[in-house]
């Protein structure tokens, strides 16, 4: 479980988050991968369909299906 700290205002409302650099980099990597996948309308349709099914497949399988070599 990541170590996440919340910043709050005087009333206790959460106003911000403090993440470790490692967690922040993971978060950015996920955003970059999603942005890349959403550039293609076919990939976007596949992702939206997968969300509707509420099923998932591993990252490795996604890369294999898309022909992406890391």
Q: Could you report the per-residue pLDDT of 1-43, keeping only the tens digit for each?
A: 567 899 999 999 999 999 989 888 888 887 888 788 788 888 8
Of residues 63 and 15, the one with the higher pLDDT is: 15
Token pair belonging to 33: 């991968």
Helical axes 41-53 vs 21-38, angle rounded to 10°: 120
What's the number of domains the chain is made of?
Answer: 1
Buried b (16+ CB within 10 A) or exposed e, 36-53: ebeeeeebeeeeeeeeee
Which domain range does residue 48 map to?
5-66
pLDDT, residue 1, reads 54
Spatial CA neighbour of 59 closest among 68, 24, 43, 51: 68
């Amino acid at each position: 479980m990541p170590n996440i700290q919340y910043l709050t205002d005087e009333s206790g409302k959460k106003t911000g988050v403090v993440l470790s650099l490692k967690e922040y980099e993971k978060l950015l990597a996920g955003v970059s991968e999603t942005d890349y996948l959403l550039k293609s309308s076919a990939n976007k349709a596949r992702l939206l369909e997968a969300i509707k099914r509420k099923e998932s497949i591993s990252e490795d399988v996604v890369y294999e299906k898309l022909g992406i070599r890391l």
